[in-house]
Amino acid sequence: MAQGAPIEGEAGIGFVLRRGFFLPPLRFTADEVDALILGLRLVARRGDEALEAAAGNALAKIEAMLPPDIAGAAESGALLAGPGTPTPHLAMLRRAIAEEARLCLRYTDRKGAGTERVVGPAAIGFFEAAEVLVACCETRGDFRHFHLDRIAEAAPAGGRFPRRRRVLLADWRAAQAIEGF
Predicted pLDDT of residue 123:
94
Segments of the chain scoring below 50 in pLDDT = none
All CATH 2.30.30 domain ranges of the chain, comma separated, are 90-176
- The fold adopted by the segment(s) 90-176 is SH3 type barrels. (2.30.30)
Q: How far apart are the C-alpha atoms of 46 and 39, rounded to whole Å?
A: 11
Predicted pLDDT of residue 26:
61
Predicted pLDDT of residue 68:
78
Predicted pLDDT of residue 5:
67
Residues 6+ apart with CB under 8 A from 81: 38, 41, 42, 44, 45
Predicted pLDDT of residue 174:
92
Query: Does the model's pTM come out above 0.85?
Result: no
